[in-house]
Amino acid sequence: MLSALRAAMQFADKKIGWNRIGVVVSLAIIAGAIDILWHTLRGIDLAEVVTAVKATEAHDVVLAAIFVAAGYFTLTFYDLFALRTIGRNEVRYRVAALAAFTSYSIGHNLGASVFTGGAVRYRIYSHYGLSAVEVAKICFLAGLTFWLGNATVLGLGIAYAPEAASAIDKLPPWVNQLIAGAVLTALASYVAWVWIAPRTIGRSDWVVTLPDGKLTLLQIVIGIIDLSFCALAMYVLVPDQPYIGFVTLAVIFVTATLLGFASHSPGGLGVFDAAMLVALWQYDKEDLLAGLLLFRLLYYIVPFALSLVLLGGRELLLSLSASRAAIAAVTTPTDLAPPPAELAEPDPTRKLP
């Protein structure tokens, strides 16, 4: 079976190309989401959605905003962890926080976050002497933290509430439990693999030493905290009735987020929303759509606008600093030298010959 799987992967790599496969998968996800949204939203009353948005309790919106802020704060440790892992300990936390917050908020909104977020990171980190290869390593390690957290949350969540995943993938709960067991087994195997001995991946100039077992557990904790805060923000924005447990919503939320991420659409627009509407069928559609709109405002639009302000302000300061440096460079020493003796003002105490 392993040999057949290896042969299939080699065929896909050489004959088709993983990039083409990725594009096809993304388009298939987007097409499916459009079809679901078309059938789900046909009977939506926009006036009721606006009424539901206005009827949302102010303290729920504030609480969701706090959870979103806590989630973005946790994201800053993705980059800090990656910097320490590659040995760039001199880069301060404030730099890592700026790079992480802006790269993720812009990447979330523009889509294709691997490229858009990577470009933002390089713009910031290159100012502090990091090379393109080092920035690529930071992106890889931050992505590893993200996927380890997702795998853990989904594995544990689906094992506990398999029916939550069934609401999206339409598989029997026992099948989802088997999938969760496989995910957790793979995760435990990876932790054991990096715990036994130092592991490196890559070749030539691009070689990354993977975090050891203890640091991998720290990665997993960071990822779990980040996803938990984001799920909590969504949880307080969905309708109160009918009641569903937090674990159930967290599984649905993370699954919908990953589908949106796989589609590469800006902000998972359409894909994330379709998955949430399908999985949370028990809610009133207008009320649920109001919660989704508020979540998009808090998690996508506000951080995106703030990131543009921060990056714009940073670029302005860098431009002013460069202008001052250019002016200082063209100022010659002779411009600052004292005037010659014959041009100096006469000394009134000196006697004339």
* Residue type for position 260: G
pLDDT at residue 280 tops 90: no
pLDDT number for residue 343: 46
pLDDT at residue 3 tops 80: no
Yes or no: say if 168 and 155 are a contact pair by the CB < 8 Å rule: no
pLDDT number for residue 240: 84
pTM: 0.79
Q: Looking at residues 261-281, what average pLDDT do you find?
A: 77
pLDDT (tens digit, 9 = 90+) per residue, 79-120? 999 999 998 899 999 999 999 999 988 887 876 677 888 888
Yes or no: say if 64 and 237 are a contact pair by the CB < 8 Å rule: yes
Query: How many other C-beta atoms are found inside a 10 Å radius of the C-beta of residue 197?
Result: 8
CA distance 207 to 85: 12
pLDDT number for residue 209: 86
pLDDT (tens digit, 9 = 90+) per residue, 310-344? 988 888 888 887 777 778 777 655 555 555 554 44
For the chain, give every domain's residue range. 29-314
Yes or no: say if 125 and 83 are a contact pair by the CB < 8 Å rule: no
Q: Mean of the per-residue pLDDT values for the chain?
A: 81
Give 305 or 53, the one with higher predicted confidence.
Answer: 305
Residue 330, classed as helix, strand or coil, is helix
CA distance 110 to 320: 28
- Residue 209: phi and psi, rounded to 5, are -85, 115
Query: How many other C-beta atoms are found inside a 10 Å radius of the C-beta of residue 244?
Result: 17
Instruction: Mean pLDDT check: name the lowest of 8-12, 44-48, 168-172, 275-279.
Output: 8-12
pLDDT band at residue 9, thresholds of 50, 70 and 90?
Answer: very low
From the list 302, 247, 234, the residue with the least C-alpha distance to 60 is 234
Q: Looking at residues 191-207, what average pLDDT do you find?
A: 85
Quote the strand ranges of 165-247, DSSP E: 200-203, 206-209
End-to-end C-alpha distance for the chain, whole angstroms: 111
From the list 203, 222, 200, 227, the residue with the least C-alpha distance to 211 is 200
Using N-to-C axis directions, what is the helix angle for 285-296 and 271-279, rounded to 10°? 140
CA distance 123 to 132: 10
CA distance 302 to 50: 19
pLDDT at residue 142 tops 70: yes
pLDDT number for residue 18: 45
pLDDT at residue 253 tops 70: yes
